[in-house]
Amino acid sequence: MTAEPTGPGPRVAVVGAGLAGSLLAILLGRRGLAVTVYERRPDPRATGAERGRSINLALSARGLAALDAVGLRELALEQALPMRGRMVHPAGGGHNFQPYSAGGERAIHSISRAGLNAALLDTAEATPGVTLRFGARVTGVDTGDDGTGAGRLLLEGGATELAGVVLACDGAYSAMRRALRPDGGFEAGQDFLEHGYKELTIPPRDGDFALDPGALHIWPRGTAMMIALPNVDRSFTCTLFWPKEEFEALDAPARVRGHFRAAYPDAAALIPDLAEDFARNPVGSLVTVRSRPWVREGDGAVVALLGDAAHAIVPFFGQGANCAFEDCLEIDRCLTETGGDWSRALPMYQERRTANTDAIAEMALDNFVEMRDRVASPVYRARTAAQHALERRLPGRYVSRYELVSFSTLPYAEIPARIRRQNRILAGAAAAGGLLVAAGLLAARQRRSATRS
Ligand SMILES: Cc1cc2nc3c(=O)[nH]c(=O)nc-3n(C[C@H](O)[C@H](O)[C@H](O)COP(=O)(O)OP(=O)(O)OC[C@H]3O[C@@H](n4cnc5c(N)ncnc54)[C@H](O)[C@@H]3O)c2cc1C
């Protein structure tokens, strides 16, 4: 733990030392601010990763840009494995590789969540002004002036601490979000999918990867799917995304093995302790959080939500953490633009981010159907090949949605409109092409009849 905060300005509390909280603490510490990070868990670097969270995740351009801002991009890439496309394992057997970009060179990066979090915590801890407090669960906040000009953070056990700015990065089931609701009651803004997720491990085989480590593997099965991302220890972490009742139906080892032999035979052969792994690992929920407001200001403290606490999304575009990192950069930018005035910077952050996080929430839901169903169809493959051909012919002018989300930092909210514009131009070009073809045919017919007469 570093020394107590010493910087100028109000005491800043960051709630949650996950991916967003630890990155934000670094950015704020670098501004010379006094920041205390409150994390309910013990230090994960000492105790290991929490069970029931995704073991690894896909980092892409947005996340890497944010890590670059704190000098961690190269370290992250050293710990990650590039995945240059999808390896689709159809129900009928075999597999086919679908590159993410036209040239096949662009990659998303599979990285250990715990490793990334540890790198961020190490950097936060080494940043002057940042204090990390583990085993400190925050239960609420009192934004009124407590007589000292500041508000109070409420901690489990009844303790309270002074705070002028509270940045809530406490995840999808945020206690701070509930505390911001005037009635503290039911949240209409949480949409749970009927699908849950469960992780399994494909261990290394003969000391090497059991599958191609250069791809994100997908077993699309209509209403359900499994994916697998590689780890640096040469294992793969598989994630099952199934309707919850499908998990419940597999209530005996023989049923588990039987189902996998039927639906995922190639993967089943690579998981020696399949039934044990299945029974051991929990089923997690998949939630989209649509909450407003993200910012509330009282006489003593201003509070803002960010990351999953503000806008958790389903993981089918691999963007939740990438998007949470963008929030951190935006807060930092707004502080610069307002000369460090929190009362103006935080509403500005909310104003700039909500359309973007709404857009990626919708695209992530849509991508679930694409991954679990469409990627298996020959029509989808033909369409992707056509898109890549267009990307090569019209570089920078035709760019697929996947590229714009994963390989650019174009604001998410601009992507749907840009795709619609591209599609309109293409439809126009196709129609014009059709007219030209029709005109050509007509001219040829006229020439033939002129020759005959
Ligand atoms: C199955 C799955 C796969 C995913 N894959 C990807 C992917 O490939 N790419 C990607 O970009 N994103 C992915 N995500 C999303 C990503 O995990 C989240 O978007 C990201 O973790 C959000 O970071 P965060 O810091 O906002 O929240 P979290 O990472 O959840 O961190 C919240 C922190 O707050 C702490 N906390 C909670 N309550 C309190 C409290 N009351 N007091 C103090 N501390 C508290 C928690 O212990 C935790 O450390 C995936 C998510 C899931 C579920």
Q: How far is the CA of 182 from the centre of ligand 1 (A)?
A: 25
What is the distance of C-alpha 135 from the center of its chain? Answer: 26
Identify the CA nearest to 228 among candidates 215, 246, 243. 215
User: What angle, rounded to 10 degrees, do the helices at 61-69 and 320-337 form?
Assistant: 40
pLDDT in tens, 31-49: 999 999 999 999 999 987 6
Q: How far is the CA of 147 from the centre of ligand 1 (A)?
A: 35
pLDDT in tens, 343-382: 999 999 999 999 999 999 999 999 998 898 888 888 888 8
What fold, for 12-81+110-190+288-366? FAD/NAD(P)-binding domain (3.50.50)
**pLDDT grade, residue 450 (50/70/90)?**
low
CA–CA separation, 304 and 347 (whole Å): 9
∠ CA 241-118-239 to the nearest 5 degrees?
A: 10
pLDDT, average across residues 10-26: 96
Average pLDDT, the chain: 91
Residue nearest to atom 27 of ligand 1 (CA): 171
| Pocket perturbation via mutation, ligand 1, pick of 39, 303, 406, 409 by most ligand atoms within 8 A of CB | 39
pLDDT in tens, 230-289: 999 999 999 999 999 999 999 999 999 999 999 999 999 999 999 999 999 999 999 999
Sign of the alpha-carbon dihedral angle for 34, 37, 42, 46: negative
Which range (104-113, 311-320, 416-425) has the least confidence? 416-425
E strand or H helix that includes residue 432: helix 414-452
Q: How far is the CA of 172 from the centre of ligand 1 (A)?
A: 7
pLDDT, average across residues 425-435: 68
Domain edges within the chain? 12-81+110-190+288-366, 416-453
Atom of ligand 1 at shortest distance to CA of 137? 42
pLDDT greater at residue 136 or residue 4? 136
∠ CA 125-129-130 to the nearest 5 degrees?
A: 35
Identify the pLDDT of residue 383.
86
**E-assigned strand segments in 160-278:** 160-163, 165-168, 190-202, 216-221, 224-230, 236-243
Identify the pLDDT of residue 54.
75
Q: How far is the CA of 308 from the centre of ligand 1 (A)?
A: 6
CA–CA separation, 5 and 177 (whole Å): 25
Pocket of ligand 1 (CB under 6 A): 15-21, 38-41, 54, 57-58, 137-138, 169-171, 175, 197, 239, 284, 307-309, 315, 318-322, 324
Write down the H helix ranges in 168-283: 175-180, 244-249, 253-263, 265-268, 274-280
Identify the pLDDT of residue 445.
52
Q: How far is the CA of 216 from the centre of ligand 1 (A)?
A: 21
pLDDT in tens, 138-160: 999 999 998 999 999 999 999 99
**pLDDT grade, residue 199 (50/70/90)?**
very high
Q: What percent of the chain has pLDDT over 90?
A: 78
**pLDDT grade, residue 3 (50/70/90)?**
very low
**pLDDT grade, residue 4 (50/70/90)?**
very low
Residue nearest to atom 2 of ligand 1 (CA): 54
Residue 131 burial (10 A CB sphere; 0-12, 13-18, 19+) = buried
- Residue 62 backbone dihedrals phi, psi, to 5 degrees: -70, -45
| 5 pLDDT above the threshold of 60 | no
Q: Which two tokens stand for residue 329?
A: 């950069």
CA–CA separation, 127 and 3 (whole Å): 10
| 393 pLDDT above the threshold of 60 | yes
Identify the pLDDT of residue 370.
87
| 451 pLDDT above the threshold of 90 | no
Identify the pLDDT of residue 185.
55
pLDDT greater at residue 312 or residue 185? 312
| 440 pLDDT above the threshold of 60 | no
**E-assigned strand segments in 275-433:** 284-289, 295-297, 302-305
CA–CA separation, 15 and 21 (whole Å): 7
